[in-house]
Chain A
């Protein structure tokens, strides 16, 4: 029998069961000694302003009075506040979920502050009147309180328990947070009725990782409408498991991080199977084939995708009028949905309204919009299917397990003439066949019962391709004239399109003009493909300037230079997750200004990053009349391990240096 299946999230944390001699601290609520105040710093982080000394929780199943199981959750936390910067730790929020009549209910809550006064421990209890309840929204309430009488050096302790009526929803546990933790432990005991997949992640090894079997008696009271109730008692095998970590450092968000939630040490659970006594086992987590089949039957997802009624065919006919090929039809449908439907929520995988209503009200969440798109495409007779994924800020999903909770976004795939296009009509400025960067978070799963295909959507798989060229020649009137053309990458294009919602092109080119270090006149300013979202944007202009100084110092990469290093921190604790790989090329072809001679040119140079993972090239060539320069920056992937960090920082440091070098031209003495 499969008990706990370990999730293969990050190989580094596959630490097997801990040694037998692991020592669990024994901590009793309220038992604080003067010696507990002695440390002025803790080994886990000597500069920390506050330290979580002890954080222990448990989830235990128990029979309830409404015919099923509840989970009793308990938590006991002890914290040392070393100085005032950690006082935010003394304000506690406990969010509780409620849906209809079923709600998570606080059973007990106590909290104390301990101060050392003249060698004696003084205790200040939290009074019940200072616990506040706030209703956050329809489904969540929160209990909030702050500990009384805290000062620098205080120890605070919080202990609470609540009962959850949702037996399939086993609380996850965070071993790590914004403050360092000395000891963090979580224990679960689950009747074998419930099978969970355990998902673990983080970079701190377990100090304790022990499982055992046991037997437990459960009493379940079941009432009927008539007011009669029946008591069921039975014994069940149970699984106990304890995980603990020691000395867990604080984790803070650094740049180029998808979400901290991908890296923090935590453990979470997904229900995979339920087997009640005397009834057949019910798989909760199935193969992708089964999950797809169920989703496609689900009223809130795919049940009406293939609906053929005349309503849709009439609409589709109107939308695709004039299209002569399947691809043209697909594009017309896509553009219609994109330009007419507004997205109210970018994190959703179920319909919020029936498709017809979505179509009529012209708004919906991302699932509404892209399922509508899929329906319209299907009605046109095209091979369209929905696909599910998890966006970057929602965290990594696992390819292996069909865990729907981990997925939060719906896109559509259409195959035309053997070519496959991934579509997202929920975003204003995305072209046909383009996805937002936020979707490149590993993979998408096609929802199809026969072939639930996995589509690779890793950030490593995409490149930002940019090509800029500048030509400069003598204008025959003692000055220079030139042209600038830059084909932007897809993502810079999207950025520019967004920018032009607020900024006029006139202002944009004024900014460009201001960016030159010398006086220049711009003409023929153009931004191409601004409204053609399928294509990247091209920015171009002509320029004219007249060098007069004895010496001309000219940065040959102009405004296209990497001016600062994107990697500022000196160290990195977890992987760098850039949004895409890079492929940028800059070309300059410049006539030497009449009356000047080259005094100095930057040196050509070429460096590789990690063998074939990246490359920077800066090649300068001159002949009698002109200078040619080619600068290219390539990164063939987007995700880098912390070990690569220093190299990455040096690589960009070098690019910044080369991109600041100057050409020196000198006037020829008459």
Chain B
């Protein structure tokens, strides 16, 4: 053991030796010009070492120096590290260097702030963080942080991503994992075309290294960061946390571990059992049974997050939820699992990485990449998905928060990866019909009926479920993109179904919607469905990754005041391309101006060379959506 420490020490001395010899090693003048291009921060040197001591502990050490070139780089000058029950920040050292590389300050421990990391939505957890910043602004300057952290679990290993942001370049970065000789480490590299250098003496050392990485761009609909810059992720085989043993060599094994934390926590009190049977026993249809019990769960619980110690991974017993009537995602999912089990329906606790418009996890690298739990109920033909932390959602609908990604189903046989349902452009709809009049003074009176469905209704759904009628009206008075307007009436009807929908009825009066100039009136018939996206036409570096697909269909009929005829109509625009299709048409029918519009956008991955077409598509739409009809009063 002693030898091992010595060896690590020697190794780190070796790594740091080159620094010490050189008095002004961080002089900004020493940065290669190629690393100054499109950069506001340059990582000068970085050494990260993760040393596995045994199955339940590791020491994580890093020393990083970053030169900040300008105001935009300031965000990379500070230091921040979270910790919890399983993590101790053992030491932090830091120094500040001026442009010439002269050390001008060192960190004092009293300058480190130590705060709760508990978020507003959480009732109790043990997350805390320490942070520090030199707050300097004479550019360029360099900050150097050296940190040692003790971790009492192997569940999370650090990943290595030397290029941390856009406008960020790297002179040199080293990542090392040190493990006992017999420990089977797993790792996966992206954008790193070599194998790590592995040396085995008393222990095994895995070594990755990069030099002179130029900056990458964070672009609209860009790929995930690891697809465009060197990254290594590492994972355990055998591990321990809080006295629980596990293995994550494959999804099956990792699933067994998760299951071991949740099993036998499905005890329902007699009163709840009775209620469950009374509700569900007479219903022969299984899907309807599930919906009944889901509604029961929604009515009788609310989301409260309590995650202390192992409680971050282990759900509260169903009995706890039954008594308190609250729980976090694990507890509520486990509770729902227990309700279904009581009536003989098998369901599966399922881990997922949540987040709207997010792609899934690295599916071929089993590890703890999840932050949320949902319940899946496998049926003969399909699967019913239940989000148990939302007390209003339609049974079986997942919303953009967890749909269309890999998830890990966990039961007594272990884990296996499945894909949650994807909602496509036949599901994510916005169908709108506007019937309006414009009078001689330009006043618009519009009756707007819209049906939103699938992911197009997600935001509106949470708005109408969390706002009172009065607040909804306030919201509508602010959110509609019209110059000056009032809502004279509005109504929402939600339609529960596998793909839920909302019917919206609005009556809007906009005093000067159309512009009157003398005997002419200028009308923009496309009231509400205007694309607002203007893409930058800068040279594209990365592929395009469009995640969400949807369809908008609009019909607008505007009755003109008597005695007016059309003088100018916008040209129709229509195109179909790999991104979807768009059609807009303006015409006059009798005394009415009629607009029809269709926009269908597909999801998919496209090469960077397609970007110009995407820019043009949005630019054309931007213009066509704002076409103006000019009508003029008939003479005499």
Give me the interface of A with B, judged by CB distance under 8 Å. 47-49, 84-85, 87, 91, 130, 132, 134-138, 144-146, 148-151, 339-344, 361-363, 428, 501-502, 507, 510-511, 514, 551, 553, 563-565, 568-570, 600-603, 649, 652-653, 656-657, 660-664
Contact = CB atoms under 8 A, between A and B. Distances in A.
A600 B517 contact: yes
B33 interface: no
B610 interface: no
3 closest cross-chain pairs (CB), A and B? A657-B512, A132-B124, A342-B137
Contacts of A656: 483-484, 512
A663 B72 CA distance: 44
Given A47-B470, A569-B474, A362 B512 contact: no
Nearest to A144: B123
Interface in B313-334: 323-326
Interface stretch (B59-67, B111-119, B216-224): B111-119
B512 A653 contact: yes
A660 B483 contact: yes
17 contacts: A47-B469, A84-B392, A85-B466, A91-B123, A362-B136, A363-B134, A363-B136, A510-B537, A511-B534, A514-B619, A551-B567, A551-B630, A569-B474, A600-B520, A657-B483, A661-B516, A663-B517
B4 interface: no
Interface in B477-530: 477-478, 482-484, 486, 511-512, 515-520, 522
Given A49-B468, A363-B136, A564-B483, A151 B326 contact: no
B31 interface: no
A551 B570 CA distance: 13
Contacts of B619: 514
Given A136-B116, A148-B325, A652-B484, 14 more contacts: A48-B468, A85-B465, A134-B124, A137-B114, A149-B323, A149-B325, A339-B137, A342-B136, A501-B72, A602-B517, A603-B518, A656-B512, A657-B484, A661-B515
Nearest to B300: A151
A656 B484 CA distance: 8
Nearest to A364: B135
Contacts of A600: 517-520
Contacts of B465: 85
A136 B120 CA distance: 12
B598 interface: no
Contacts of A148: 323-326
Contacts of A663: 517
B517 A661 contact: yes
Contact of B304 (A84, A146, A660): A146
B521 to A, nearest CB: 10
B133 interface: yes
Interface centre among A136, A428, A510, A661, by most B CB within 10 Å?
Answer: A661
SS of A interface (majority) = mixed
Given A501-B72, A551-B568, A563 B115 contact: no
Interface centre among B467, B482, B511, B619, by most A CB within 10 Å?
Answer: B511
A138 B114 CA distance: 8
B595 to A, nearest CB: 18
A563 B515 contact: no
A84 B325 CA distance: 13
Interface in B532-586: 534, 536-538, 567-568
A334 to B, nearest CB: 16
A656 B513 CA distance: 10
B71 A501 contact: yes
A319 to B, nearest CB: 14
Contacts, number: 137
Contact of A342 (B135, B512, B517): B135
A660 B118 CA distance: 49
B124 A144 contact: yes
A84 B468 CA distance: 11
Contact of A146 (B123, B477, B520, B534): B123
B312 to A, nearest CB: 14
Contact of B118 (A134, A151, A662): A134
Interface in B580-619: 619
Nearest to A131: B124
A649 B467 CA distance: 25
Contact of B115 (A84, A136, A339, A565): A136
Interface centre among B118, B484, B518, by most A CB within 10 Å?
Answer: B484
B468 A563 contact: no
A322 B71 CA distance: 28
Contact of B517 (A47, A151, A339, A662): A662
A230 to B, nearest CB: 38
A600 B633 CA distance: 12
A653 B536 contact: no
A660 B512 contact: yes
A601 B518 contact: yes
B24 interface: no
B118 A150 contact: no
B491 to A, nearest CB: 15
Interface string B447-466: 00000000000000000011
A134 B116 contact: yes
Contact of B478 (A84, A514, A569): A569
Nearest to A49: B468
A150 B325 contact: yes
B172 interface: no
B483 A553 contact: no
Interface centre among B304, B325, B467, B537, by most A CB within 10 Å?
Answer: B325
A144 B119 CA distance: 13
Contacts of B515: 657, 660-662
Contact of B484 (A507, A514, A653): A653
Interface string B411-448: 00000000000000000000000000000001000000
Contacts of B198: none
B299 interface: yes
Contacts of B477: 568-570
Interface string B125-142: 000000001111110000
Contacts of B442: 657
B358 interface: no
A141 to B, nearest CB: 9
